[in-house]
Amino acid sequence: MGNEEILGKTRRGSTVELGVDLNIFGRSGVRRNIICGLLLGTSITFMPITNQAAGRSADSIDVYAGVVTDYLFRGVSVSENKPAIQAGAEYRHSIGMYTGVFLSNVNTDPYQLPGKDGSRAELEVYAGYGQEYETLGFGWDAGLIAYRFNQNQDNFDEAYVSASFDPWKDHLSVVVKTSYDWSNKNLVLEAKGALDVGKGFELVLIPGYVNFNNKLREDYGFVTLGADTRFEIKNIIETLDLGVYYTTTDKDKRPDDNRNLVRDSWWLSLVAHF
């Protein structure tokens, strides 16, 4: 889960992480690359699209680590409104296949419910396949992701599929994504718009909607707005991504939510790629 997972996203010509578990986008955090993703950890979790048609002929490995001031998963803090340290790695093959892992500290039981021990660590393992057709301004991506925690009751798995569009080449990109949790039969719809405003800065908009197959849980929506940039370092650290984001949700607050985990929130993301 994550902060729109650090909005994992792709910037013009290079991938950028964002962290909201933008799982596109669904989270805030230092998350994996996602042309479909938005924030490295933000709750924006879009998976990266490998583009052979665009000329990416070489295999690649991305190793990254970062911190977010709050780890949001689909609009809700999973780190008690506190910072989270995150890291991950991803391998992408030239034919379009990819696989990766993502790690973060979490708190899945912030309400300290009697008889329940919440998880404090999260591991995500994912794999997929995607292609992007630059001349058409279109791309697609599909894959599976396993969310694993140190407490097994928190585990779940999702399948996802996304489509990307480039209506204004090198300036505006749009991604739509749907994820399905077959264990709980929950459906998540997300989208991301990214506008290159020049000087190395990008504005992002990530709306999402969570549909629960459970009458005890009400569906809700969330939106993340933000801006990010990338610094080229070319040393031990190749690039450094910096972003500031605002996430709001219409999710109902629990009566026992004395820690204010469901709230509108500003958060920052800093991610280093090695």
CB 74 within 8 A of CB 273: no
Domains and CATH numbers, the chain: 4-273 (2.40.160.40)
Please provide the average confidence, as pLDDT, over all residues in the chain: 79
E strands, the chain, are 4-6, 9-11, 14-16, 40-42, 60-68, 72-73, 76-77, 84-92, 97-105, 121-133, 138-149, 156-168, 172-181, 186-198, 201-211, 220-232, 239-249, 265-273
Whole-model pTM: value is 0.80
User: What are the tens digits of pLDDT across the range 187-197?
Assistant: 999 999 999 99
Phi, psi of 63 (to 5 degrees): -115, 130
CB 38, CB 12: distance < 8 Å:
no
Q: What pLDDT digit, counting tens, does each position of 161-178 carry? A: 999 998 888 899 999 999
User: Which tens digit of pLDDT belongs to each residue from 182-234?
Assistant: 888 899 999 999 999 998 899 999 999 999 887 777 899 999 999 999 999 88
Phi, psi of 154 (to 5 degrees): -90, -10
pLDDT band for position 7 (cuts 50, 70, 90): very low
Comparing CA positions, the residue from 15, 16, 13, 18 lying closest to residue 5 is 18
